[in-house]
Amino acid sequence: MSTSLFEDKTDLARIIIKPLYFGLLVNIVIPMGLLLVFFYINNNHYIENRMGDFANPLFYIFIVLALLEAAFALWWRGKLFKQPMIRRPETFENDFSSELLARSKPIFILIASISVYGYVYLMLTGRFTESVLFVVFSFVVFQVVRPRYGMTRKLIERQQQLVKEGKFRNG
């Protein structure tokens, strides 16, 4: 447990809530809404398998792409959050909060794009069950990447160390 003055005075939930709500919207609410639309379309209209025998290989290609995208999101999160996020020591809390949100947004959007493979697969093959797997996988990746208290505490400590070393965010 850190005894950082910043952590003692700061409500971590307030810092985490904006990125978390954005991630929930982009990675859960919107994909689930689209999944419900496609479920309705699948049940009320016949979706032809346009890919024929290539449907199974296409599924595996999309799986590989989704895994690569998830690995890239994890790597990118690590890279973005290691860089300085603070402009000045006086504005540490505001800088940290705004940068956490700004740096989380593209990662969450990247993760949400994994579910797009499912929608495309459904439209090309008419296979709803396999398409749901991509949406569920994007949920799982979001759960791994989303901000948590422990991660945020470590990130605050890292940023405090960078500030002590005189390393600040430019711009």
The parent domain of residue 131 ranges over: 5-43+53-164
User: Which residue is listed with tokens 């959050």?
Assistant: 81
At 2 the pLDDT is 44
Contacts by residues 85-92 (CB-CB < 8 Å, ≥ 24 positions apart): 85/159, 85/169, 86/159, 86/162, 86/163, 86/168, 86/169, 87/168, 87/169, 88/168, 89/163, 92/6, 92/159, 92/160, 92/163
Domain-located, residue 169? no
> Could you tell me what percent of the chain has a pLDDT over 90?
90
Helix, strand, or coil here: 149? helix
Number of domains in the chain: 1
Domain-located, residue 57? yes
At 10 the pLDDT is 66
Residue pair 96/168 in contact by the 8 Å Cβ criterion: no
Is the pLDDT assigned to residue 109 strictly greater than 50?
A: yes
Residue 50 DSSP symbol: S
Domain-located, residue 78? yes
Task: Calculate the average pLDDT of the chain.
Answer: 92
Q: pLDDT grade, residue 171 (50/70/90)?
A: low
Q: Per-residue pLDDT tens for 82-96? A: 999 999 999 999 999
At 5 the pLDDT is 46
Structure tokens at 99: 């940068």
Domain-located, residue 86? yes
C-alpha span between 102 and 96 (Å, rounded): 10
Q: Per-residue pLDDT tens for 113-164? A: 999 999 999 999 999 999 999 999 999 999 999 999 999 999 999 999 999 9
**Is the pTM for the entire model greater than 0.85?**
yes
Domain-located, residue 35? yes
Domain-located, residue 48? no
Q: pLDDT grade, residue 9 (50/70/90)?
A: low
| Average pLDDT over every residue of 70-75 | 97
Domain-located, residue 171? no
